[in-house]
Structure 1
Amino acid sequence: MKFSLRQLEIFVAVSRTGSVSKAAQAVFLSQSAASTALAEFEKQYNVQLFDRVGKSLRINQAGQQLLPHAVELLDRAQEIHNLMEGHAGYGLMKIGATLTIGNYLATLLVAEFLHEHDDSRIELQVHNTKTIIEQIANHELDLGLIEGGCHHPDIEVETWIADELVVFCAPQHPLATKKKVTMQQLLAEPWILREKGSGTRETFDRAFHNYHSQLNIRLELEHTEAVKRTVESGLGIGCISRLALKDAFRRGSLVPVNTPALDLGRYFYFLWHKQKYQTTGMREFLALCKSITADVSRSDEVNLTRIIKE
């Protein structure tokens, strides 16, 4: 074979960063060495893998066809390396989680995984659903844990566990003492919501699909905790996952609003690229996630205190 694993590593790094200089930093080479290796790789096969756009490189169709095969080969090579070195862990895994999962489940699951496999490394990124899907599609992440829908043709989706959004307010809010709240009462209130592109907002918009024009959206925020703090201050009512509100409801700093007219159910999902080689580490992490949620029917029923072993 004409190519080396190092050339593939540089090609993948450039495809992810769009820059030779950033790719060089990622693979611990000088910019000139990385540029030379990429140029030789393309020259060996008389193929151009990137379109040069100003100072950036944009992967073209030939590069897109190569990318999943290069990522898979590098993953397999890393497993061989770990095996031959006698490593007990699984090397580096890049996992992306949406905000609700990332803040309330994923960090504990990652800690538990590393507790069991202390020679492994995990890079956890927390973004909204739209961003996680894009990163999986571009082979920037090994696994995704999301709370919104995904219909990307190149991504495998597996249902994980049920979740439920809940409308909530501050304890001093007039709706806090209502046994049941109607749609008209909800439409009369100012709302504090997650941003568009988030799985939480997607579920909320679906529940209010016939009433969008009547909603009074006062503020949109990118973080679940910011939504909770703002609602606590009395600026409006909100709607996020019951999992994220579990402690606040227990303390009484926020209270649920009974909304029988709304369907706020959804699921959490696992994502990976269809052409992605599932490493042993990925399979072990998925198995851990499933085992933690095996005995519950909804995300807020997970006993978080049991995840981390003493």
Structure 2
Amino acid sequence: MVEYSLDQLECFVTAAKAGSFSEAGRQLNKAQSAVSTSVANLEIDFGVPLFDRSGKYLELTSEGEVLLREAETILYRCARLQNRALAFAADVETRVRVAIDEALRSPLLEVLPEFAAQFPATEMDVSEGLFTDVHRAVALGHADIGLLIGTGIPEPTVKYKLLGYIPFQAAVAAHHPLAAKKQVAVSDLEDERQIIITSRGEQRHSEITPFSHRLWVAESYASGLGMIRKGVGWAFLPEPVLQDATGDGSIVALSLELEHRVHTSPLYLLWKRDDVVGQAGQWLFEMFAEMGSRLADG
């Protein structure tokens, strides 16, 4: 059986990427001779040359190219093993399952890189839904944490924390007749088709009033936005969705003559009442609270 150390594999991989033993030694804070000797001993253990040393720079042999990929895999798995062991010792979850309102996709994506850096050994499962979909995922134990826009269903096993209120604005396609108006009256909305976003259970935001007698229903924001872009109607959209949708100019927000009626919907953080939340979950709680404050401020 071939015997080798992780240190030897690290010297091999670093030298292959650096192109020289001297540069590898500098990166590893080792003497050049120590790196060269370590790789030479590895070649003896493997029984094949890993590098062609005849030129100015190190060149991998055909055997070395194959073994380099294997060595990189071993080092990666060892690092992952160590990170997970450290996570267990530090009371960090190995996996966090998050269910979010579909409208919060972009705000969530903004915090994920920092989460990955803070908790490299923690797996993240993200599911999306609307209204009761998110609540149900937490209540049934399919998600550890939920972010819900709208009023949740009272459930004794689920705890709620109000993070703020998400503003909604009316939006249409840039080529829709309503887009040409500087101010849009209630009567204008009543005359045009309204698109309502619902969950699969046909639940919709109770705060959003149907203005038009002509309604189309979409079970996702993606479908609703598609309808809007085609110019078939207008819809009330939460601020995060509206910001993404108006970026390319195909959809515009309407200026309504409704100053006395501010359309908002509550943003709730959900989690199971009896669950113990670890460090990764607590970190997400804090990030989501900050997210709620930013979104509520518009």
TM-score, with normalisation over the residues of structure 2? 0.63
Aligned position for 1:158: 161
Aligned position for 2:262: 263
Aligned position for 1:237: 234
- Percent of aligned pairs with the same amino acid: 15
**Count of matched residue pairs:** 212
| 1:221 to 2:218 alignment | yes
Q: Does the aligned pair in 2 maintain the 1:82–1:90 contact within 8 Å?
A: no
Q: Does the aligned pair in 2 maintain the 1:149–1:199 contact within 8 Å?
A: no
**What code does the residue aligned with 2:288 have?**
C
**What code does the residue aligned with 2:101 have?**
T
Secondary structure in structure 1 of the residue aligned to 2:205: helix
Residue deviations 1:161-216, cap 9 Å, x none?
A: 3311111111122211222222221111112221246899314xx3326x5xx521
Task: Return the alpha-carbon distance in structure 2 between the equivalents of residues 119 and 149 of structure 1.
Answer: 34
Greater Cα radius of gyration, structure 1 or 2: 2
**Deviation larger for 251-260 or 118-127:** 251-260
Q: Does the aligned pair in 2 maintain the 1:82–1:91 contact within 8 Å?
A: no
**What code does the residue aligned with 1:276 have?**
D
Aligned position for 1:189: 192
Aligned counterpart for 2:148 among listed residues 146, 149, 153: 146
* CA displacement at 1:272 relative to structure 2: 0.9
Task: Return the alpha-carbon distance in structure 2 between the equivalents of residues 84 and 100 of structure 1.
Answer: 32
| 1:167 to 2:165 alignment | no
**What code does the residue aligned with 1:222 have?**
E
* CA displacement at 1:160 relative to structure 2: 1.7
Q: Does the aligned pair in 2 maintain the 1:95–1:123 contact within 8 Å?
A: yes
Aligned position for 2:110: 108
* CA displacement at 1:243 relative to structure 2: 1.4
Equivalence map 1:84-123=2 (5 Å):
86=89, 89-101=92-104, 103-123=105-125
**What code does the residue aligned with 1:90 have?**
E
Task: Return the alpha-carbon distance in structure 2 between the equivalents of residues 297 and 127 of structure 1.
Answer: 19
Q: Does the aligned pair in 2 maintain the 1:148–1:200 contact within 8 Å?
A: no
Task: Return the alpha-carbon distance in structure 2 between the equivalents of residues 200 and 248 of structure 1.
Answer: 23
Task: Return the alpha-carbon distance in structure 2 between the equivalents of residues 223 and 292 of structure 1.
Answer: 22
Residue deviations 1:123-147, cap 9 Å, x none?
A: 1111112122112112221110111
Aligned position for 2:288: 289
Secondary structure in structure 2 of the residue aligned to 1:298: helix
* CA displacement at 1:241 relative to structure 2: 1.1
* CA displacement at 1:278 relative to structure 2: 2.1
Secondary structure in structure 2 of the residue aligned to 1:159: strand
Q: Does the aligned pair in 2 maintain the 1:164–1:298 contact within 8 Å?
A: yes
Aligned position for 1:5: none
Equivalence map 1:4-15=2 (5 Å):
none
User: Which 5+ residue runs of structure 2 have no aligned equivalent?
Assistant: 1-83
Task: Return the alpha-carbon distance in structure 2 between the equivalents of residues 291 and 84 of structure 1.
Answer: 25
Secondary structure in structure 2 of the residue aligned to 1:251: coil
* CA displacement at 1:151 relative to structure 2: 3.7
Residue deviations 1:93-129, cap 9 Å, x none?
A: 111111101x222233233211221111111111112
Aligned position for 1:126: 128
**What code does the residue aligned with 2:193 have?**
P
TM-score, with normalisation over the residues of structure 1? 0.61
Aligned counterpart for 1:254 among listed residues 244, 251, 256: 251
* CA displacement at 1:297 relative to structure 2: 5.8
User: Which 5+ residue runs of structure 1 have no aligned equivalent?
Assistant: 1-80, 302-310
Task: Return the alpha-carbon distance in structure 1 between the equivalents of residues 256 and 239 of structure 2.
Answer: 13
Q: Does the aligned pair in 1 maintain the 2:164–2:268 contact within 8 Å?
A: yes
